[in-house]
Chain A
């Protein structure tokens, strides 16, 4: 699959990672256009079903980006997200999906460069892995 362009759905916390994606934009850090960003008020509000629905709907990878430990504006939303992501990785493996399709990354609001690098890394890895096995039937292309 030479021309495969993975689609990534990113759930980005309003207070940090979403701002970081803005910083990436304004400071003209390059990052691939494979990502669709969904702003959430805290990484802790990302529900398992959002991840599964994204994958079911044709995403090749899902990124959950939140404030660094100790920085969550709702105190422990990010620790909650961390536990949830661990459990979802288990679920994905059990269901027959590669758990690397799901990534959690702490990105604080100034770290535009880190945001860009995270997306670059994910795109690179997903290209190696190929399209999500859930995608084949419902060919929703990026």
Chain B
């Protein structure tokens, strides 16, 4: 149920239009208020008060937003836009509508399957490196092994997971990998399926009960484990983990000449406020360049929680890789989803007009590749 505070937030919106100047989706969809925060707030209000009926247009409005938070941080009324949109989605779900997921909802189905007990998961053979299956320091690869086969391009699950394990091993740690873990529930949560999310959270919390420290390679997993779970363990994104290890002198890199830039995933950046860790690490060994829009003003990759992949989000992605190509030769990102969406765009160069020539590489993989023996 949407809280009083959030409802009050909606009434505080003075319709000043600041969000219309900021929202990347609004710019692309050009025109209607249903495509931008202030309109979505009104729709949420109408939903809560029972004044609006649920129809396709309403669903499109609520779900065609990657909840990138660009508007929220500038909102004059201080409205918690993304939270309100999520709560409104939950109302839509509660009233029986289905979520307009991309990929026909395959990822949602996979999350449901990961909830089932008694399946003998089989993907540990992807990992090169030394790990254990129970212990206190946990590496959480999330749904990476399951995302990969669904996408028809090489996401590099084996490389990324092995890279993370390599980082642990170099620092003298044998990380724990629990293959029975369910999907983290990030997408489930942001799609407004709270009941389903709670089931995922319950299962994972049970499996993570003995953990003291959890490290994720995906920004969305980091966000959800840290914010919406109540775990006893400390949760870190791998960029923070690596930064700390470097500071402690437990990891070192060999200097490279590659020109790289960093794409801040919305979840790591604006949602969690972590802008520095990945930059500190990258600057330590690569020729680091900044894009025009970076840090708190970084553009969104265009898709949030597998929900709004369409021609507009594709345009956002294209704009972003062009921006990256102006700054560097390699675009580093620290989120399995951003990586999927950008890589997807790059797979069919013949189908995208003026696609720049740029490599898209995951942070974990890039860092592990440049590790040096101490």
Contacts and interface: CB of A to CB of B under 8 A. Distances in A.
A48 B116 contact: no
Contacts, number: 57
A136 B118 contact: yes
Interface in A2-19: none
Nearest to A137: B116
B109 A91 contact: no
Interface in B111-145: 112-114, 116, 118-123, 145
A48 B114 CA distance: 16
B150 A95 contact: no
Contact of A91 (B104, B118, B146): B146
B152 interface: yes
Interface in A40-80: 47-49, 52-53, 56
Interface residues of B, number: 21
B119 A133 contact: yes
Contacts of B121: 94-96
A94 B109 CA distance: 14
Interface string B314-334: 000000000000000000000
A84 B103 CA distance: 13
A133 B118 contact: yes
B149 interface: yes
Interface in B88-123: 103-106, 109-110, 112-114, 116, 118-123
Contacts of A53: 109
Contacts of B122: 93-94, 96
Contact of A95 (B103, B106, B114, B152): B114
A40 to B, nearest CB: 14
A116 to B, nearest CB: 31
A83 B118 contact: no
B118 A52 contact: no
B344 to A, nearest CB: 15
B103 A87 contact: no
A52 B110 contact: yes
A141 interface: no
B149 A88 contact: yes
A48 B119 contact: no
Contact of B104 (A49, A83, A133, A137): A49
A90 to B, nearest CB: 4
Interface string A74-113: 0000000001100110110111110000000000000000
A88 B122 CA distance: 14
Given A83-B152, A90-B149, A52 B119 contact: no
A56 B116 CA distance: 10
B110 to A, nearest CB: 7
Contacts of A95: 110, 113-114, 119, 121, 146
B109 A56 contact: yes
A87 B120 contact: no
Contacts of B114: 95
B146 A96 contact: no
A134 interface: yes
Given A49-B104, A56-B109, A56-B112, A96 B149 contact: no
Given A94-B121, A95-B121, A48 B112 contact: no
B149 A91 contact: yes
Nearest to A92: B149
A134 B113 contact: yes
B109 to A, nearest CB: 5
15 contacts: A47-B104, A49-B103, A87-B149, A87-B152, A91-B149, A94-B121, A94-B146, A94-B149, A95-B121, A95-B146, A96-B121, A97-B119, A133-B116, A133-B118, A134-B116
Interface of A: 47-49, 52-53, 56, 83-84, 87-88, 90-91, 93-97, 133-134, 136-137
Q: Which 8 A-B residue pairs are closest in the complex by CB-CB distance? A: A96-B119, A91-B149, A87-B149, A94-B123, A49-B106, A49-B104, A90-B149, A96-B121
Given A56-B109, A84-B152, 17 more contacts: A47-B106, A49-B103, A52-B113, A83-B152, A87-B149, A91-B150, A94-B121, A94-B145, A94-B149, A95-B110, A95-B119, A96-B120, A96-B121, A97-B119, A134-B116, A134-B119, A136-B118
